[in-house]
Amino acid sequence: MGRLKLQPGISDAIEEEPEECDVAGTYSNNSTLACMINSEIGAVLAVMRRNARWGGRYMSGDDQLEHSLIQSLKVLRRQIFLWHHQWNAINPALYLQPFLDVIRSDEAGATITSVALSSVYKILTLDVIDHNTVSAEDAMHSVIDSVTSCRFEMPDASSEEVVLTKILQVLLACMKNKASVMISNQHVCNIVNTCFRIVHQTGTKSELLQQIARYTLHELVRCIFSHLQDVDNTDHTLVNGSSNLKREKMQFTDFPIVLSSIPIMKIVSLRCLCVAGMGKGLVFVTGGLNTDYAYGSRQSENGSLSSEYDNQPLPTNFSPNATSAVTATLMEEETAIPISGNEGVPYNMHLTEPYGVPCMLEIFSFLCSLLNVVEHTGMGPRSNTIAFDEDVPLFSLTLINSAIELGGPSIRRHPRLLSLIQDELFRNLMQFGLSMSPLILSMVCSIVLNLYHHLRTELKLQIEAFFSCVILRLAQGRHGASYQQQEVAMEALVDFCRQKTFMVDMYANFDCDITCSNVFEELANLLSRSAFPVNCPLSAMHILALDGLTAVIQGMAERISNGSVSSEYSPVSLEEYNPFWMVKCENYSDPNHWVSFVRRRKYIKRRLMIGADHFNRDPKKGLEFLQGRHLLPDKLDPQSVACFFRYTAGLDKNLVGDFLGNHDEFCVQVLHEFTRTFDFQHMNLDTALRLFLETFRLPGESQKIHRVLEAFSERYYEQSPLILANKDASLVLSYSMIMLNTDQHNVQVKKKMTEEDFIRNNRHINGGNDLPREFLSEIYHSICKNEIRTTPEQGSGFPEMTPSRWIDLMHKSRKTAPFIVSDSKAYLDHDMFAIMSGPTIASISVVFDHAEHEEVYQTCIDGFLAIAKISACHHLEDVLDDLVVSLCKFTTLLNPSSVEEPLLAFGDDMKARMATLTVFTIANSYGDYIRAGWRNILDCILRLHKLGLLPARVASDAAEESEFSPETVHGKPVTNSLPSAHMQSFGTPRRSSGLMGRFSQLLSLDTEEPRSQPTEQQLAAHQRTLQTIQKCHIESIFTESKFLQTESLLQLAKALIWAAGRPQKGNSTPEDEDTAVFCLELLIAITLNNRDRIGILWQGVYEHISNIVQTTVMPCALVEKAVFGLMRICQRLLPYKENIADELLRSLQLVLKLDARVADAYCEQITQEVSRLVKANASHIRSQLGWRTITSLLSITARHIEASEAGFDALLFIMSDGSHLLPANYVLCIDTARQFAESRVGQAERSVRALDLMAGSVTCLAEWTGAAKEAMVEEQVSKFSHDIGEMWLRLVQGLRKVSLDQREEVRNHALFSLQRCLTGADGIHLPHGLWLQCFDLVIFTVLDDLLEIAQGHSQKDYRNMEGTLIFAMKLLSEVFLQLLPDLSQLTTFCKLWLGVLSRMEKYMKVKVRGKRSEKLQETVPELLKNSLHVMKTRGILAQRSALGGDSLWELTWLHVNNISPSLRVEVFPEQDSEHSLHEQGESAGGLVPDEMVSNPSSETASYEDAGTADRS
């Protein structure tokens, strides 16, 4: 018996490793790992011994007692405990190979194979093998080759499932192992191939196994593509390092779709299996297989996974001929859309290199190829469904989605992989997007979402096409889409909308691009329409669309906080013509450049669409319009018109076709320029013609058709000659295609052209030669199956993605402008929001109206608040107004109803309460930008006011808050500054209101009509109402109005005036008056709160109060509020607004216009307010105009018994000690004091005090004069002195008038005061002329008037006039003597003196009570005597000439003799003798002139007459 031999070389396989080397995995103890492997060996041997084949001795040759499989396991068991090296220094093949031999053995049954697979799986998961392990690469490849070539005997189906499950586990473990980075591209593809075959093979067997296989394949794809982001960081990803990567980038446009790691026979068989499992009649397009590809792996190692008992084993022996046969069979059906661009230079990758992009590319290409299924009938022009078995494409889409999720942005670094996504994948996604299966549609949308997230910069036109041709078509439910399709499309759209920058990307890249559709606008309109329930209850679709709208709006609102929102929105304008199709951006990544660029481009696009509308009505006027907007040159050129036709949406294609087909020379040039805008490179003729004819309607006239096709043929031959000999061949063939198209698709043509007819008709057209039969046959079948539309659809419907359009899209994608990536800044939100705001508000409002659930309410409210924030940020006042109007309708506050019912209804209506809270939240937060909306807000406030639900301090102003008392007057806000005793309301009594007032009404019981106790529901409803109103903070609108922007504040004031209504005389109801009073309170409150901006409010406030004052004829609360509110405004604002002090004070003149009954009712309160105003603001009233108003009001009070005391108190405050007397108010105060002195209301004592005020004011005049001399220049002093003189003259004139008062005490005190003012004017320095005027207008006048009164009135009216006359005469004498030195120097002194003498003479003759006054008879001569002595002493009265030429002397004695003849002797005794002689001379006809003798008082009379004339 021989001994077992060790496998050759097993002892040499262990390489020496340094002892300090790290131990692989987490198992540091060699014995532990040896024990684990030993247990697996034991398990396999145990299972093998159960079988009779393995249990006995093995008697076959070479003295070998046991089977080689058992022997190798036993040898391994002996060796593992002898290894002392670290496990990563041991070749894994030593402990893996025995297990792999069992797996690959044909003799091993399913159970043995299953246990061996489990052992390999356990070893792989122990992390013993990693990239540092010796020969790890070979070991991993050996495992993969063994498992993928697994062969076993299958006793039953369940055993097969177990083995296949173990295979899946091991393959997945290989890819998750740390050494997986060393697996080659070929082996990775082998793994994927094997897993997919298991997926297919188990399709009709175990559902569980199939799901496990699918899961495994899914995890494999995830493992593989998660490695993509690290590809550039490894040296072994591509062959020859960077050189191969460079070549990849150079050749990415043309490459074959090959699953390189699988032999051609297996690719074909696998795809055949895929097709076999699909629906009947489906064709799978393989596209460009490289049949010459050579593989280094052995065929035997890539055998099938079939078992001996499999009824349908997978083919393993395909020859190249067989492959060709299968391929030919597959391609016989020509219903599939051919894949372009898949032929080219083979992608020769080294399959033995560690896996990277090559295997990923092959796997991804294979997954995409699984989607290449279409119906035999193809897609008709109106079809929107694809009938197929959803299983395979859904699974493929799931794997593709995972690959994209994990590959992410790394895909763009690999051009071939990116190109595969751009073309083949997206083309298939466009088709499957119209699937009737919601599962497939949902997965397609998920893939597109991931592509947008990771690769949107590389998929600009593809994304546009997806939304235009799939989402917008399905979500509207118009093109035959089912409700499920519509719902899935809408869900996908909402997912996109939740991406923060999605809508900005759509707007910037598509809506602002003249060559693209308005994706953003269409999506926004779609969401708005879909959220709008029309004659139907609210459904899930409506809520879904609402979520999309709110997501877009809230995204805009969030961007506001990120800054970059310009405070000023600058509109775009074109100053000069620039070719609009040539507009470029300097830097598409810098917002400073692209923001202005896209806004300008959007402006151009809008103007072009307006121009298109004009063009459709009148082509000539349309072009002229564009010329006026600088979009076309002043002198039209063919290129600009051609580009207008080519790039402008909405043009009437019939008009464009007629224009292009016109024989006019300019139109022909436009036609040729139009064709130059097309790119026909590498495009089939029928495809090019389809694209060309989609842009206009081919004219019906043959000549026009010829011109159009001739231009097209010339352009096509220039770019894609292909097999055409010349442009004539292109023209003839184009004509032939048009004829064929008409023949095949015109129902009136009964006998259709056959393929042979078409080929025969086109003989010898290619420069005298025939075109290839295959070429013509392809054209024939293409046109038969897909009509060339010579009458393209009008309007803005969403087009279907046809093959020709997809080819055109791929051409355009190479030339389109770069995709603009927006960030989180609100650069374009103003423009976007302006487009969608109106429909959005309408839609959310309708949903809010129809909604019945709180979560829907809250969603709508969130949308409303976001709209308000955006509108305010971007200064879109009209939008905010529309929002407020909409919201106010939901408050139910504007609905007329009874008093009690709305309270309960409001408390029970959550929608109304939420809307109310939102309205006032917007008003408080964004009031700066509310304009017309204030009216609606005030309507709500007034309704709350009428219901008694407003807080008591709504109309309070900021300055009163510190004085606030919790008590209210009748439950209404009290804003009057008058004491409560003066707050007499003349209107109807106000009902109890306020929050607590209404609540207490509910709780109270009426004594006359007992009410039932309120229910708990009613109490709860009222409590909710109170809480809602408190949360609204309505008072903040007015108390914080000082922070409102100017325009908004002005609109708020106008709204208050409008809400109050125009006052009417006697026609207003109590309710209207109550509203007007409340509005006036609010108006006054915001006026006081905005003292710094009183200028903008004042005109409106004044006019409103003026209307109230002038139209009110009876006392009422409204006029009371108007008058005292006006006074409060003046009182509060005067200290801060001196620049409008005059205007404020002038407004108080309205009080003077009050109806007599109204004025009388409020006179006392008005006077008290004026008094407070004066005392608080006297120092701030500086102008004469302001003081005129104040003194006018005070003057009126002098005649009112209740008000006079307060009025005089104010006057006393002004004039006492001259503290507030000014040159500006001096005369006015003097006149006012005079009126108080003359007033007989009250006691005479007050008149005397008024006179004292007048007399005491002389000191102010003296002070002002002295101050002026020190502070002013000479010219100014002169003018000021003149003004002072005028003031003094008005003072003494006022005293003169009071001197005629009936009351003796007042009359005499007035004369005394007059004497004080006349004699105390030394410091004023009055000019002599003013003194003469004073004698004339004051002194002589008062003497004359008193004399007239004494003679013409009874003693009852004027008591003791005798004493007054004496006092007046003394005043005359004293003043005259005091001023005598100055007056005597005047040339008119003689007249003045004669006037004095004449008054003394009259007073000597006056009769009081019918007889002459003895006291006067005594007083007058004595005063005259005194005067004569003084004049004599001063030398003023003396005889100047003996001849009688001195008139003063003579006239004096003529009057003195009439008064008292003896005075001459007494004063001039030495002149007595001369006087005697003079008398003798007179008797003897002396020398005295006759006129002087006959009329001794003529001069005096003339002087008096002159004085009288001056007074008059």
Active site residues per annotation = 701
Sign of the dihedral through C-alpha 150, 371, 459, 683: positive
Q: How far apart are CA 1277 and CA 1321, in angstroms?
A: 17
List the structure tokens of 806. 């997809």
- Rounded to the nearest angstrom, the gap between the alpha carbon of residue 541 and the centroid of all alpha carbons in its chain is 27
Q: Helices marked H in 3-153 — which ranges?
A: 30-49, 52-55, 68-80, 93-104, 110-125, 136-148
Place of tokens 């992410």: 408
Q: How far apart are CA 1076 and CA 1085, in angstroms?
A: 14
List the structure tokens of 360. 């990923």
Q: How far apart are CA 265 and CA 319, in angstroms?
A: 7
Contact at 8 Å (CB) between 670 and 692?
no
Q: How far apart are CA 463 and CA 520, in angstroms?
A: 12
Q: Helices marked H in 891-1041 — which ranges?
A: 900-908, 910-926, 933-946, 995-1003, 1016-1032, 1034-1039
Q: How far apart are CA 876 and CA 859, in angstroms?
A: 22
- Rg (the chain; Cα; Å): 57
Phi, psi values for residue 684, rounded to 5°: -65, 155
Q: 568 vs 125, 355, 564, 821, 873, CA distance in Å?
A: 65, 57, 11, 24, 10
Q: How many CB atoms lie within 10 A of CB 1031?
A: 13
List the structure tokens of 1477. 């002689």
According to DSSP, the β-strands at 373-374 and 1407-1408 are: unpaired
List the structure tokens of 850. 């129809």
Partners of 1412 in beta bridges: 1407
Q: For residue 6, give the nearest of 86, 68, 91, 88 by alpha carbon.
A: 68
**DSSP element (H, E) containing 945:** helix 933-946
Q: For residue 1284, give the nearest of 1251, 1316, 1324, 1322 by alpha carbon.
A: 1324
Give 338's DSSP letter: P
How many residues appear in the chain?
1512
Q: How far apart are CA 498 and CA 557, in angstroms?
A: 13
Contact at 8 Å (CB) between 720 and 682?
yes
Q: 437 vs 368, 428, 447, 483, 1297, CA distance in Å?
A: 19, 15, 16, 11, 109
Q: How far apart are CA 80 and CA 1021, in angstroms?
A: 84
Contact at 8 Å (CB) between 1150 and 1105?
yes
Partners of 1408 in beta bridges: 1411
Angle between helices 1226-1238 and 1274-1298 (to 10 degrees): 10
Ordered DSSP codes for 564-598: ---SSPPPP---S---GGG---S-TT-HHHHHHHH
In a 3-state reduction of DSSP, which class is residue 1447?
helix
Q: How many CB atoms lie within 10 A of CB 376?
A: 12
Partners of 1411 in beta bridges: 1408
Q: How far apart are CA 1119 and CA 1117, in angstroms?
A: 6
Three-state DSSP string of 465-526: HHHHHHHHHHHHCCCCCCHHHHHHHHHHHHHHHCCCCHHHHHHHHHHCCCCCCCHHHHHHHH
